[in-house]
């Protein structure tokens, strides 16, 4: 995969059919939205990238070391996720206010409850703790009621939810609602989730951003991050969010949802 991606970046022709076979199924079904091609010879096509966000995610995944040990040999074990993942979950069968846990080891999942049809993945710990407010926010965004009896709530905790093993588990849900910060990082996380889960992934946002413009209070760390956020929003089809970025010049952290 990495060789194909490098050649695409350099404008070199590749065997496009062979490249497609290496793509995740969700991306393979959408390849006409992601790439355009020009045939240059027998089994050779020059590929133009139409979705930079998804392409960047592919590059990151292709460059990931095959194991934590392999990453350590390359000088940084943190470049590869641990073989075990722990996720905190609120679900309908809880008998206390303390969240349950899911333990994922490779393809093995240790889970003590039956998942709901939907799951709400919340990036921030404080918002996760106030899961009832987040479910109410999600209900307003979607225009339909969400409660623990029809929607689990998972703590995403930064980029941890984009691990392959975690995404494989999330793929078991019918719909994955993503409550991430409204900034470059949150949009990049969603891009990674969508690249793996396709149409199952939904970026949670209000139907109308105008009432929320006062909540955009975080000044971007750098102009590049602000520009990237606008580009990602537009590439993902979130035109109104891109307009909110431009109108305010700032980002919105999801903690602001709890103040509304």
Dig out the tokens for 243 from the structure: 């307009």
From 186, 187, 202, 195, select the one nearest 164 (Cα to Cα).
195
Residues whose CB is less than 8 angstroms from the CB of residue 76 and which lie 6 or more positions away in sequence, other chains included: none
pLDDT at 190: 94
**How many CB atoms are located within 10 Å of the residue 48 CB?**
11
Give the position of tokens 């209070």. Answer: 217
Beta pairing partners, 45 = 14, 39
The full set of domain ranges for the chain reads 2-77, 82-259
pLDDT at 74: 39
The string of pLDDT tens digits covering residues 60-108 is 887 766 555 555 543 444 444 557 889 999 999 998 899 999 999 988 9
User: What top-level class would CATH report for the domain 82-259?
Assistant: alpha beta
d(CA 193, CA 214): 28
Dig out the tokens for 45 from the structure: 């096509």
CB-based contact 191:232 (threshold 8 Å): yes
The end-to-end CA distance of the chain, in Å, is 45
pLDDT for 185 beyond 80:
yes
Dihedral-angle region of residue 176 (phi above 0 means left; psi in -120 to 50 means alpha; beta otherwise): beta
> Would the pTM of this model clear 0.85, i.e. be above it?
no
């Amino acid at each position: 995969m990495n060789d194909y991606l490098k050649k695409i970046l350099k404008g070199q022709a590749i065997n496009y059919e062979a490249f497609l076979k290496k793509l995740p199924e969700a991306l393979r079904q959408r390849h006409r939205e992601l790439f355009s091609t020009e045939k240059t010879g027998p089994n050779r096509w020059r590929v133009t990238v139409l979705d930079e966000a998804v392409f960047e995610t592919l590059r990151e995944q292709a460059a990931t070391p095959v194991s934590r040990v392999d990453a350590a040999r390359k000088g940084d074990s943190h470049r590869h996720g641990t073989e075990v993942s722990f996720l905190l979950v609120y679900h309908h069968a809880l008998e206390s206010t303390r969240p349950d846990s899911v333990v994922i080891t490779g393809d093995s999942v240790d889970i003590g409850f039956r998942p709901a049809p939907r799951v709400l993945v919340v990036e921030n710990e404080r918002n996760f703790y106030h899961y009832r407010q987040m479910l109410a926010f999600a209900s307003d965004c979607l225009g339909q009621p969400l409660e623990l009896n029809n929607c689990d709530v998972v703590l995403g905790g930064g980029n941890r939810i984009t691990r392959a093993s975690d995404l494989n588990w999330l793929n078991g849900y019918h719909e994955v609602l993503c409550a991430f910060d409204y900034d470059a990082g949150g949009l990049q996380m969603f891009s990674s989730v969508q690249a793996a889960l396709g149409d199952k992934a939904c970026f949670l946002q209000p139907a109308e951003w105008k009432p929320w413009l006062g909540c955009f209070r975080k000044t971007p760390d750098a102009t590049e991050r602000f520009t990237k956020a606008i580009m990602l929003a537009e590439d993902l089809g979130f035109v109104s969010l891109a307009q909110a970025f431009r109108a305010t010049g700032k980002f919105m952290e999801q903690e602001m949802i709890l103040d509304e």
